[in-house]
Structure 1
Amino acid sequence: MTVSESKQTASRSTAAVEKGTHVFEIVGYSLEKGFGAGHFVRSGTFNVGGFGWSLRFYPNGLDDKASVSFPWIVLELMSNEAEVRAHWGVTILKLPSGSLGSGWSMAHPNVFNSKDSSRSTRFRLQSEAELKASGYLVGDCLKFKCTVMVTKGSQLSEIREDSEIEVPPSDITKHFGNLLEDMVGADVKFSVGGDTVAAHKIVLAARSPVFKAELYGPMREKRTSCVTIKDMQPAVFRAMLHFVYTDSLPCMDDLKGGDYHEMMRHLLVAACRYALDRLKMICQNILAKNLDAETVATTLALADQHGCERLKQVCVEFITSPDEMEAVVATQGYASLKRTCPSVLVDVLEKTSRLRKI
């Protein structure tokens, strides 16, 4: 009897999961404490996995049966006629930095049913005294970050083990980064603020239409081996070059707080100057996430000058928020904004007027 060689087969089941986060801030915490157990404050509805969700915060506890009142937070499924399997967790954010603090998560998925509110899950928080002592309840404000992971079934696929070869991820940006460091084949030099920086014309031209025109177009500097860059700091130019070669920002761990944000503002100007659209969006995103009363007016003027409409909108919303407006108006940046960009203040005034009518 002849036995043919057996063929091994394999398959893979991959869970399909969609993840989303929602930040919920309680302003005026003490005012909510006076309504007794069972009173809750509801967050806005947010979407994860195609379903609507909402948080309910109970500052005085769920009911008056407990001898000690603890705050609770509940996740509720808002979509009608739905049953959803999901993991979720809550993290309290430290104020005013917004850094992550204490957190809770579930090891197993919970089944949420829009017809049965008892299927909602909940977390008990620390007491009010513990929240204050831990630096979470500051200025009568409390902020949470909720993460929801919705399980959307699974995908089954066949694995051809006899022919499957693992392919490593692309490392082209690493090689271009090495090219920037060792400068082999560099064919252009730039004079920036007294420093000389070498680069490769073809790389710059491929990434920036402005560099392409300056280095290969009819306006290129034919009689000099060194191109002078005016109105830009050497560190900013080098950071921009790092992005050109690697599509990422360089490490800036040596820059802290205001210095880092100042670098982002300079990089935003450089990105606009050389039509590096992705770098422009990265800088806007970082600046939008790190606004404060001292610098928001400066950032708003910059956004208006360079046509960054989304960043401009975020700045206006920050300035007109009741908790920030008084502090912003007292800054030198706001005074400078009134002198140099009075038209920008029209948006601020219109936004404030709309808020007062609500």
Structure 2
Amino acid sequence: MSALQRPSTATTASACIPDMARGTHVFTVAGYRLHKGLGIGNFIRSATFAVGGYDWCIRYYPDGFSSETNDYVSVFVELQSKKSTVRALYDLRLTDRATGSSSLVFSRPSSFPAFDSWRIDHLRGASKFMKRDILEASPYLQDDCLLIQCDLTVLLKEIPTVATATKTPEIEVPPSDLLKNLAKLLEGNKGSDVMIIVNGETFHAHKIVLALRSPVLDAELYGPMGDSEKQCMQIEDMQPAVFKALLHFMYTDSLPVMHDLDNHDKKEIIKHLIVAADRYAMERMKLMCESMLCKSLDAKSVGATLALADQHHCSKLREACLEFVEHLVSTSTLVGDAVVDAIGVADDRREELKKETCERGRIACSGRANVSSQSNAAALTKKQAAMLLGLGREVLFMLKMRFGSVILLSVVSDYSSKERMKWLN
């Protein structure tokens, strides 16, 4: 009699897969300092965004959610869909504008309790999102602007599916760290093969990187007339701080963070970087610098910025300067505003001087008085005239188009005939 055989065993598997929807929303808070003082419990709401068939938004409390958190900024996620109960997970992050990378600040590990707009329980978040003084010293606050990112996962109401096969695992691929590695390569001097001396300060770099980033340096190092064996280079007519920023861009494709500089010094560095970018044919860096200067144009600096744009072939910046001047010219208070702002007179004299100067411009334009009286009525002080001349030739041309030649005669009245013709023609 044969031995009893054991029956074969069949193995099966199943998985419970929750039905989820994911979405990301980035909320830009521009004018960070303007929002300070809004008051405890007062908030700014982002635009509405949809995830999983529900409407959501981000609430930002610049002075804290309550009196217990008035040293913090608070950030919450709000369910805006009415009469809804939703289970959801979320991460709240801050994004570094210079690198584009984001850092997790607050995460909700559980979907309970649910967002419930039936019971006015539709708000979840971090009342102590970040201390205000820490935030203001961090790289996340740049150019008075803050980027808050919300990653939201919504568990849908349908019954989770049951399958006989497990879900294919997803492997999360980290973002590229090539630029970070190149920055470390620059900082550590590992494998550097050229020494660069700038106004007595020494920098170490890699010739192949310099050549890849700048056609001018490529020609100098590897061109027909170049010297690929060169181990030391001298850079003339450039500040070490400017060259350091230039080198940082070559390795990281981004401008360095300049938290330690005030707005004036930052603008000066940017102007010098435009000169350096033009010198080494680095068009992307030049356009980035042009964009930054465009955002900070004012009546005092537009003339000098226009001259810089002309000298270094910055066509976009030049157009922006001329559009800015044209906007000023299109207002009736141009002459008064430009002169008073440029001179920087005391507050108690500003309005009086603006009114007086604009009245002179209108008299010059009207043509109702004779030339002699026009010249006297429209005469500007030497200081005012000098400031207007400092705004540049294009500005004066637009003044001439709006107010007539007499206003320019008054501007240049103290100059010789030859010099007058140079400005008026």
- Band the TM-score falls in, shorter-chain normalisation: 0.5 to 0.7
Counterpart of 2:234 in structure 1 is 228
Contact (CA 8 Å) 1:87, 1:110: kept in 2 or not? no
Contact (CA 8 Å) 1:329, 1:335: kept in 2 or not? no
Query: Structure 1 length as normaliser, TM-score?
Result: 0.55
Counterpart of 1:5 in structure 2 is 13
Counterpart of 2:206 in structure 1 is 200
In 2, Cα distance between equivalents of 1:345 and 1:215: 45
Counterpart of 2:299 in structure 1 is 293
Amino acid across the alignment from 2:280: Y
Counterpart of 2:314 in structure 1 is 308
Counterpart of 1:55 in structure 2 is none
Shift of 1:276: 1.8
Amino acid across the alignment from 1:283: C
Contact (CA 8 Å) 2:56, 2:78: kept in 1 or not? no
SS state of the match for residue 13, structure 1? strand
Q: Deviations over 1:43-96 (max 9, x none)?
A: xxxxxxxxxxxxxxxxxxxxxxxxxxxxxxxxxxxxxxxxxx78699999xxxx
Change (3 A) 1:91 1:226: same
In 2, Cα distance between equivalents of 1:325 and 1:336: 8
Counterpart of 1:137 in structure 2 is none
Q: Among all aligned residue pairs of Structure 1 and Structure 2, give the percentage whose two residues are the same amino acid.
A: 40
Would you say 1:189 and 2:195 are equivalent positions?
A: yes
In 2, Cα distance between equivalents of 1:109 and 1:350: 54
Counterpart of 2:217 in structure 1 is 211
Contact (CA 8 Å) 1:297, 1:328: kept in 2 or not? no
Counterpart of 1:45 in structure 2 is none
Question: Residues 72-221 of structure 1: matches in 2 within 5 Å?
Answer: 107-109=78-80, 162-221=168-227
Contact (CA 8 Å) 1:300, 1:315: kept in 2 or not? yes
The correspondence for 1:271, drawn from 273, 277, 280, is 277
Shift of 1:248: 1.4
Counterpart of 1:326 in structure 2 is 339
Question: Residues 58-77 of structure 1: matches in 2 within 5 Å?
Answer: none
Tell me which protein shows more strand as a share of its residues: 1
Change (3 A) 1:161 1:310: farther
Counterpart of 2:288 in structure 1 is 282
Contact (CA 8 Å) 2:213, 2:250: kept in 1 or not? yes
SS state of the match for residue 174, structure 2? coil
Change (3 A) 1:328 1:218: farther
Query: Structure 2 length as normaliser, TM-score?
Result: 0.47
SS state of the match for residue 189, structure 1? strand
Contact (CA 8 Å) 2:305, 2:321: kept in 1 or not? yes
Amino acid across the alignment from 1:6: S
Contact (CA 8 Å) 2:194, 2:232: kept in 1 or not? yes
Change (3 A) 1:352 1:90: farther
CA RMSD, 1 decimal: 5.3
Shift of 1:174: 1.0
Change (3 A) 1:10 1:108: closer
In 2, Cα distance between equivalents of 1:335 and 1:161: 76
Change (3 A) 1:18 1:190: closer
Change (3 A) 1:7 1:265: same
SS state of the match for residue 243, structure 2? helix
Change (3 A) 1:348 1:191: farther
Tell me which protein shows more helix as a share of its residues: 2
In 1, Cα distance between equivalents of 2:257 and 2:173: 28
Change (3 A) 1:91 1:326: farther
Change (3 A) 1:250 1:9: same
Change (3 A) 1:349 1:277: farther
Give the gaps of 5 or more residues in structure 1. Answer: 24-84, 93-101, 112-144, 148-153, 354-358
Structure number with the bigger relative contact order (C-alpha 8 A, sep ≥ 6) is 1
In 2, Cα distance between equivalents of 1:333 and 1:280: 33
In 1, Cα distance between equivalents of 2:263 and 2:312: 23
- Between the two proteins, the alignment pairs up a number of residues equal to 260
Higher-Rg structure is 2
Amino acid across the alignment from 1:206: L
Contact (CA 8 Å) 1:173, 1:246: kept in 2 or not? yes
Amino acid across the alignment from 1:5: A
Counterpart of 2:69 in structure 1 is none
Q: Deviations over 1:261-302 (max 9, x none)?
A: 100100111112222222112211211112233322211211
Amino acid across the alignment from 2:321: C
